[in-house]
Structure 1
């Protein structure tokens, strides 16, 4: 059992590190590929629609990722045995990071394609929200009520 808990906690940490590598890779690609940077900056309509969709995506994904996990934790994960709870906890933590990755990637795409600061602001909002998802063995034990 202890080995399973440590494995799930280590896996969550790896996924979290991978999540934080997304903006770094996005910035490296954006700064080194000059062909497509600012490609749509002159088209005001495209910039407006992209910014609006990015803001909407961020406004939906951030609260949904945080509240959905809390709801699943209390209604689904707490109702099963410990081995199934660990499996579900791992799965829903990945779903939560995936939901937060959407505005990060979209934000950096809007930032580099449209040269719009709104995109990077939305990406930073999602990155800040991910700090509420910091993984760790102590947090896993607390959320799953494991003594």
Structure 2
């Protein structure tokens, strides 16, 4: 029974993780194919400055927060719950982490195409790279929720 719930959770987390990548790649394809307009902020120095500052601040704040907040919630909160509630909370915090990284990536990649300045590309790239620390896996879920010890005791 618990194995099915873990497998279902893993499937949902993988779908959400790959959806993030599809959104990012779709956004890039939209700009590259001319579907979305490039260079909308070129010539407006004040708007470019504010947008770039916002993109950098988003990257500086949300990338570490997305990785750290999950770890804090895992150690302080999720591990104290029963297994069913722990799985729900684990999913919720995994989704929050992916959404925070997605916000940074989408804004900064769009910023790159709006300004044609590499600042947005670098910050968006950092968010996409940080998502590599969020790849869902069965071993990861079991170890983060301390379920490997329980499974060994059952055998």
Does the alignment reach a TM-score above 0.5? yes
1:1-147 alignment, distance < 5 Å: 1-33=2-34, 36-147=37-148
C-alpha root-mean-square deviation of aligned residues, in Å?
1.1
Gaps (5+ residues) in structure 2?
Answer: 149-155
8 Å CA contact 2:30–2:36 kept in 1: the answer is no
After the TM superposition, which parts of structure 1 deviate over 2 Å for at least 4 consecutive aligned residues? 32-36
Where structure 1 has 5 or more consecutive residues not aligned to the other structure, the ranges are none
Structure 1 residues 35 and 95: alpha-carbon distance in aligned structure 2, compared to 1, 3 A threshold: closer
TM-score, length-scaled by structure 1: 0.96
With a CA cutoff of 8 Å and minimum separation of 6, indicate the structure with the bigger relative contact order: 1
Question: How many Å apart are 1:32 and its aligned residue?
Answer: 2.2
**Distance in 2 between the 1:93 and 1:34 partners?**
31
Q: Give the TM-score normalised by the residue count of structure 2.
A: 0.91
Matched pairs, number: 147
Q: Deviation of residue 31 (structure 1)?
A: 1.5
CA–CA distance in 2 between the matches of 1:28 and 1:128?
Answer: 19
Q: Secondary structure at the match of 1:40?
A: coil
Cα deviation, 1:82-130, whole Å, max 9, x if unaligned, reads: 0100010011000000010111010111111111211111110001111
Select the structure of larger CA radius of gyration: 2
2:147 counterpart SS class: coil
Write the distance in 1 (CA, Å) between the matches of 2:123 and 2:54: 11
Q: 1:35 to 1:91 in 2, by over 3 A?
A: closer
